[in-house]
Amino acid sequence: MKADQIIPVLRIFDYQKALEFYRDWLGFEVIWEHHFAENTPVYMEIKKENIIFHLSEHHGDGTPGSRIFIWGEGIVGYYKKLTEKPYKYNNPALEKAFYDAVCFQVYDPFGNVIIFNEKYDEIEHKDLEFYSIH
């Protein structure tokens, strides 16, 4: 079997809060939205480059508190861009993970967590300041 695309479905509870977090802060674009009728829950697709999520207000679609782990490139630049934007509900910290990665986590308003990871490079990342709980 070969998967062409994997699209996580994340449970949301508030359309406006979802837009504020995913579109306005993280920089995703809304590709499409679906409602079965007027004044019914939304099911929508959002995208940022090759990352695609489905967000659903429907009961039973996804579990609040899900975690999504993303490997990529340019994570440090993206982190810096995010931390320069005013978003009062998140203050991510750059970390060096035990699995040899530079990473940071963001928490959406519904308890879901997205972990952005980039392979640690001793030359490229040598001057970074990392958050440490020790």
Name the pTM for this structure.
0.93
Residue 134: pLDDT over 80: no
* pLDDT for residue 63: 86
Secondary structure of residue 43 in the 3-state scheme:
strand
Structural domain count of the chain: 1
- The answer to whether residue 109 sits within a structural domain is yes
- The answer to whether residue 4 sits within a structural domain is no
Residue 111: domain span: 9-119
- The answer to whether residue 17 sits within a structural domain is yes
Per-residue pLDDT of 98-108, as tens digits, reads: 999 999 999 99
What is the domain-level CATH number for residue 15? 3.10.180.10
> Half-sphere exposure of residue 118, counting CA atoms within 13 Å on the CB side?
17
Phi and psi torsions of 9, nearest 5°: -105, 120
Query: In what helix (H) or strand (E) does residue 25 lie, and over which residues does it extend?
Result: none
Residue pair 115/70 in contact (Cβ under 8 Å)? The answer is: yes
Q: What Cα–Cα distance (Å) separates residue 84 from each residue in 21, 39, 90?
A: 15, 35, 12
- The answer to whether residue 73 sits within a structural domain is yes
Per-residue pLDDT of 35-93, as tens digits, reads: 999 999 999 999 999 999 999 999 889 888 999 999 999 999 999 999 999 889 999 99
- The answer to whether residue 2 sits within a structural domain is no
Provide CB contacts within 8 A for 19, sequence distance 6+. Answer: 30
